[in-house]
Amino acid sequence: MDEIKALAHEIGTFMQASAQKALEHYRPIAEQIIKGEKTDLNEIELFLDYMLDFCYDNEVLELYKRICRCLYSKHPELVYTAVMNYRDVWDDTEN
């Protein structure tokens, strides 16, 4: 049983480190989107898809939400897709 706990701890540590590394990479790009400096919808949609893999982390999730809130008034269909993708991936894991 101790081996299982150790493995679970190791996996959790790895996941947290991965999310922090992703956040370091994604934050500058997210800020460009939020400021309106990056406007290509295909790139933004792909970027949100990449971020989705790390939305188990609260900081990444908050950044994901900020992007969605920023884009909603101009691109509600893109935000709708992003929210539905989030729900498809993460809603079941929260229950």
pTM of the complete model: 0.88
pLDDT in tens, 26-63: 999 999 999 999 999 999 999 999 999 999 999 999 99
* Torsion sign over Cα 11, 22, 34, 73: negative
Residues counted in the chain: 95
Provide the pLDDT for residue 1: 77
- Tokens at 86, concatenated: 């989030």
pLDDT in tens, 63-73: 999 999 999 99
pLDDT in tens, 3-12: 999 899 999 9
Domain boundaries, the chain: 2-94
